Structure 1
Amino acid sequence: MSSPFLAVMKSSPALTAPGTPVAPIATGRLVSLDALRGFDMFWIMSGEHIIHALAKATGWPVLLWMSSQLHHVDWNGCTFYDMIFPLFLFIAGVSMPYSLQGKLKRAGLDSAEQLSFAAKKPIYQSMLRRTLILIFLGMVVNGLFAFKGYEQTRFASVLGRIGLAWLGAGIIFLNTSTRGQIGAAVLILLGYWATLMWIPVPGFGAGVLTPEGSLPSYIDRLFLPGKLHRTVYDPEGLFSTIPAVATALLGMLTGTLLKDTRRSMNQKTLAMLGLGVSLILLGLLWDQIFPINKRLWTSSFTVYVGGWSLVFLAVFYYIIDVQGFQKWAFPFVLIGTNSILIYLASDGIVNFAHTAHFLFDGFSQFFTLPWQPVIQALAVTAVQLSLLYVLYRNKLFLKI
């Protein structure tokens, strides 16, 4: 029985939770998922600082464009940086069918919905425990231990949303067929669209998609305890978590596709690419009447970013798992196999910048001023990857 809180296991990690590694790189088994998770986390871990510094030092148009993509949009619209969070949630969803494959095989069943309630009960308990842990860790990242009091404590968080959305999608996954999961995702997205457009907010009316006047913002102000991140709304609030369930469901459906032995790996790649491009176009079309908006996690945003998530996974899957080119992705695998740990550490728990300055400040003095921030950003990444490499070599993975 695993610990009810956190366990650091000295073994190959199981496929059982958001951010849990799929397989070590040596196994050749869906290495692409770990690599994509690591690629996703790299940008918020330290990659963004490297690009910002390089753009400032060189002034090259391509780097300036990349730097502009590593900022959130103020409200409507979407940059690459806005995709990082939903891509991680999508990847967590992909892992779900793999986490159940052993249990299903032992029971001689084809799908999770065929499991008895007795067989599902420990799965529910495990999922709920992980969700509560992620909510708690999210509050820790928000500064829980500063003890500023209830009114100044932010309860909503990125990790909390991952836990809640993954839990909601997992319950649907365990109790419906593939067709039912598709139907549930469609119903969630259409229902969310209808409620935001048709339910009036006191003082604003219906269909007002502004920070103050949107229905999710109003619900946050009424029911979300503690402090709101943006005063009048919270980007990880209560109501806007509902469409995030569809993001996780899309990942679970993708995981089911990848496990389908009736399709070749090339067919799976083409299926992901085709569906991904279709969803991107659908999201852009929907954007004309229901704006793409990460803060509200609008249905058009869910579809649009879900499409890009499929495209990213298709590319990584084809290069790494189909063609077998794995060595280039090893740094991303280091990050991906301990993604929750490095997220927590990089978000203030560990001061990697201090260590990097201590080790590399002297070296950076050999460079002119515009390039010193580049060296410092690379140094932070080197320190982070060194820690992750030691953990990987010793098979130490944070399991939630």
Structure 2
Amino acid sequence: MITKLSSGRILSIDAFRGITILVMIFVNSVAGVDGIPSWMQHAHANEDRMTFVDVVFPAFLFIVGMSIPFAINSRLTKGDSFWQLQKHILWRTLGLLVLGVFMVNTDGLNANATGTSKAVWALLFYGSVILVWNVYTFQQRWISWVLKGIGAVILIVLALIYRGGEDGTHYLSPQWWGILGLIGWAYVYACMIYQFFKGVPGAIFLMIAACIGFYILCQQPFMENGAFSWLTTQAGNAAHTSIVLCGMLLTLFYFDEDLGLTGSRLVSRVVGFFALLVVAGSLLRPAYKLSKINATPSWCLYCSAICVAVFSLLYFLIDVKHLSRWTSFFKPAGSNPLLTYILPDIVYFGMIALSLNLPAVLGQGLPGIIWCACFAVAMLFLVKGLNKLHIRLQL
């Protein structure tokens, strides 16, 4: 083990993940509703503000950071060698990048040039994702490998036949990495940092500052041209990595037994961390205004502070006061996040393939908002049912 962490699943982390996924489904759905208030929409890139919608993606990043120490320690405890661990990290990163690229390119698919409709192509893609990344329970392992192989072949074929753009000449390519791809880059960088510095909290804190500093450096005029201009392409990844590292540091504060933070010492450390994030974000905001689209330092730091506060509240309720019965509703999504993430898209493209349309009233104003909330809850129940059918995805 790199650090000595508390054993067993942490209910507060699972609850945080499940709540974040529920809110994510809601905000993704409500984005297509007309006449919703501005506080339920993403802020534009040129605005110096953010809404709760702009905190959902960084909450995912933060939770990834909280989970990394547990995941790495678990694999080392099970006997993974150094290179086996790196193979697992790289394979997981590759999976996130591949999924991100496919999802980004779906909207731009040219049906005539591809030879199939967008809905059919997307459903085949999501079906292959389930085949490749499902956790199978067959006693005959060859059945699992056959199913994974079929899924991989379908993915390759879909990538080869894909044509996008109005003229149908664009191939499948990383126009941008998509949400999952951005998580993948931040994940691999954070894993490298955690291992290199052996989970030392002080070093992790300095690397948060280094990531923010790297972003600021990339915004300087002299970086736009010349030999180092390629570094600017990593500015956003560095900013996202800083959020992942903030989640990682909070995990060490709460669950690293070697640190031994309890009682007032734990409270003072967490409150101090929260205050530093807020103050640093405020100091940087005049120069780097709040912007999720541009992944500015102020946005990263404020969102991390919000996540620190939200998780601390959940930890107090669930792990200290043991008020945990209500978390069972979020457990299926928290333990099967990838399936929960793609499930709304499967439903959406399934409806298109079947030529099903919602009543127009559900696409506007308050009725639309209520529908999106009900849809998000329904997705959690659907995932619960799929879990019982042993459909559980794991990268």
Fold shared per TM-score above 0.5: yes
Q: What is the CA-CA distance between 1:32 and the residue it aligns to?
A: 1.2
Q: Which residue among 170, 183, 191 is the counterpart of 2:214?
A: 191
Post-superposition CA distance 1:93-113 (Å, at most 9, x none) = 111111233455578xxxxxx
Q: Which residue among 361, 371, 374 is the counterpart of 1:376?
A: 371
Q: What is the CA-CA distance between 1:287 and the residue it aligns to?
A: 0.5
What is the aligned length?
Answer: 323
Q: What is the CA-CA distance between 1:295 and the residue it aligns to?
A: 2.0
Secondary structure of the residue aligned to 2:92 is helix
1:147 aligns with 2:163: yes
Q: Which residue among 232, 246, 252 is the counterpart of 1:250?
A: 246
Q: What is the CA-CA distance between 1:219 and the residue it aligns to?
A: 5.7
Q: Relative to structure 1, is the Cα distance of residues 331 and 184 closer, same or farther in structure 2, using a 3 angstrom cutoff? A: same
* Residues in 1 aligned to 2:230 and 2:236: alpha-carbon distance in whole angstroms: 9
Post-superposition CA distance 1:139-179 (Å, at most 9, x none) = 12113555324467434211111111110110111111413
Q: What is the CA-CA distance between 1:191 and the residue it aligns to?
A: 2.6
User: Is the Cα contact below 8 Å between 1:46 and 1:381 reproduced in 2?
Assistant: yes
Q: Which residue among 289, 292, 298 is the counterpart of 1:291?
A: 289
User: Is the Cα contact below 8 Å between 1:90 and 1:309 reproduced in 2?
Assistant: yes
Q: What is the CA-CA distance between 1:371 and the residue it aligns to?
A: 6.1
* Residues in 1 aligned to 2:391 and 2:172: alpha-carbon distance in whole angstroms: 35
Structure-2 residue corresponding to 1:349: 346
* Residues in 2 aligned to 1:331 and 1:85: alpha-carbon distance in whole angstroms: 21
Q: Which residue among 77, 95, 101 is the counterpart of 1:133?
A: 95
Q: What is the CA-CA distance between 1:382 and the residue it aligns to?
A: 4.2
AA aligned to 2:284 is W
* Residues in 2 aligned to 1:103 and 1:370: alpha-carbon distance in whole angstroms: 48
Q: What is the CA-CA distance between 1:137 and the residue it aligns to?
A: 0.5
AA aligned to 1:124 is Q
* Residues in 2 aligned to 1:304 and 1:100: alpha-carbon distance in whole angstroms: 27
Q: What is the CA-CA distance between 1:186 and the residue it aligns to?
A: 1.6
Q: Which residue among 83, 86, 100 is the counterpart of 1:121?
A: 83
* Residues in 2 aligned to 1:54 and 1:266: alpha-carbon distance in whole angstroms: 48
Structure-1 residue corresponding to 2:380: 385
**Structure-to-structure mapping, 1:1-400, within 5 angstroms:** 29-46=9-26, 68-75=39-46, 76-102=48-74, 119-143=81-105, 145=158, 146-148=162-164, 149-150=169-170, 153=173, 154-177=175-198, 178=200, 179-199=202-222, 201=224, 238-261=234-257, 262-264=260-262, 267-268=265-266, 271-346=269-344, 348-351=345-348, 354=351, 372-373=367-368, 376-393=371-388, 396-400=391-395
TM-score (norm 2): 0.69
TM-score (norm 1): 0.68
AA aligned to 2:44 is V
AA aligned to 1:186 is A
Q: Relative to structure 1, is the Cα distance of residues 48 and 55 closer, same or farther in structure 2, using a 3 angstrom cutoff? A: farther
Q: Relative to structure 1, is the Cα distance of residues 385 and 274 closer, same or farther in structure 2, using a 3 angstrom cutoff? A: same
Q: What is the CA-CA distance between 1:330 and the residue it aligns to?
A: 2.8
Q: What is the CA-CA distance between 1:332 and the residue it aligns to?
A: 2.7
Secondary structure of the residue aligned to 2:330 is helix
Post-superposition CA distance 1:220-246 (Å, at most 9, x none) = 9xx9xxxxxxxxxxxxx6431122222
User: Is the Cα contact below 8 Å between 1:89 and 1:162 reproduced in 2?
Assistant: yes
Q: What is the CA-CA distance between 1:136 and the residue it aligns to?
A: 0.6
* Residues in 2 aligned to 1:272 and 1:353: alpha-carbon distance in whole angstroms: 45
AA aligned to 2:289 is P
* Residues in 1 aligned to 2:176 and 2:365: alpha-carbon distance in whole angstroms: 40
AA aligned to 1:31 is L
Secondary structure of the residue aligned to 2:392 is strand
* Residues in 1 aligned to 2:356 and 2:11: alpha-carbon distance in whole angstroms: 32
Q: What is the CA-CA distance between 1:359 and the residue it aligns to?
A: 12
User: Is the Cα contact below 8 Å between 1:87 and 1:309 reproduced in 2?
Assistant: yes
Q: Relative to structure 1, is the Cα distance of residues 180 and 259 closer, same or farther in structure 2, using a 3 angstrom cutoff? A: same
Post-superposition CA distance 1:324-344 (Å, at most 9, x none) = 112223333332222221222
User: Is the Cα contact below 8 Å between 1:277 and 1:311 reproduced in 2?
Assistant: no
* Residues in 1 aligned to 2:178 and 2:321: alpha-carbon distance in whole angstroms: 38
Q: Relative to structure 1, is the Cα distance of residues 74 and 119 closer, same or farther in structure 2, using a 3 angstrom cutoff? A: same
Secondary structure of the residue aligned to 2:283 is helix
Structure-1 residue corresponding to 2:121: none
Measured on the aligned residues, the alpha-carbon RMSD in Å equals 3.9
Q: Relative to structure 1, is the Cα distance of residues 258 and 79 closer, same or farther in structure 2, using a 3 angstrom cutoff? A: same
* Residues in 2 aligned to 1:28 and 1:99: alpha-carbon distance in whole angstroms: 12
Q: Relative to structure 1, is the Cα distance of residues 392 and 268 closer, same or farther in structure 2, using a 3 angstrom cutoff? A: farther
AA aligned to 1:125 is K
Q: Relative to structure 1, is the Cα distance of residues 47 and 142 closer, same or farther in structure 2, using a 3 angstrom cutoff? A: closer
Q: What is the CA-CA distance between 1:69 and the residue it aligns to?
A: 4.2
User: Is the Cα contact below 8 Å between 2:336 and 2:392 reproduced in 1?
Assistant: yes
Post-superposition CA distance 1:67-90 (Å, at most 9, x none) = 614423333432221111111011
* Residues in 2 aligned to 1:335 and 1:39: alpha-carbon distance in whole angstroms: 9
List gaps (5 residues or longer) in structure 2: 1-5, 107-157
